[in-house]
Amino acid sequence: MAETNNTKNIGLRGVKVADTRISDVDGTHGILIYRGYPIEELAEHSTYEETAFLLLHDAMPTVTELREFSESLRSARPLPDFVIAILRALPRGTSPMDVLQAAVPLLAADDPDLADDSREANHRKAVRLIARMASVVSAWHRIRSGQALLPPDNDLSHAGNFLWQLTGKKPDRETAKDLDTALILHADHSFNASTFACRAVVSTRAHMYAAVAAGVGALSGSLHGGANAAVMIMLEALKNEKDIPAWVRQQLDGGKKIMGMGHAVYKTTDPRANFLKDMGKRIGEQLGQEQWHRLSTEIEETAIAEFLKRGKTTIKPNVDFYSAPVYHMMGIPHDLMTPIFAIARIAGWTAHIIEEKFGDAQGKPALYRPSSDYVGNYCGKIRCSYESVEKRK
| CA-CA-CA-CA dihedral for 227, 229, 235, 239, to nearest 10 | -170
Do the beta carbons of residue 80 and residue 53 sit within 8 Å?
no
The active-site residue, picked from 111, 178, 188, 320, is: 320
Cβ neighbours of residue 65 under 8 Å, at least 6 residues apart?
53
Query: Is 293 one of the annotated active-site residues of the chain?
Result: no
The active-site residue, picked from 186, 189, 263, 328, is: 263
How many Å apart are CA 333 and CA 327, to the nearest integer?
A: 8
Beta strands in 238-343 (DSSP E): none
The 37-38 sheet, strands edge to edge: 23-26, 31-34, 37-38
Query: Is 186 one of the annotated active-site residues of the chain?
Result: no
Name the amino acid, one letter, at 107.
L
The active-site residue, picked from 224, 293, 328, 352, is: 224
How many Å apart are CA 296 and CA 238, to the nearest integer?
A: 10
Q: How far apart are the first and last CA of the chain?
A: 29
CA distances from 187 to 117, 243, 282 (A): 24, 36, 22
How many Å apart are CA 290 and CA 374, to the nearest integer?
A: 54
Helix axes 119-144, 48-57, angle to 10 degrees: 150
How many Å apart are CA 87 and CA 92, to the nearest integer?
A: 9
Query: Is 158 one of the annotated active-site residues of the chain?
Result: no
- Long-range pairs, 81-89, Cβ under 8 A, ≥24: 82/106, 82/109, 82/110, 83/107, 83/110, 83/136, 84/139, 84/149, 87/136, 87/139, 87/140, 87/143, 88/143
Active site residues: 224, 263, 320
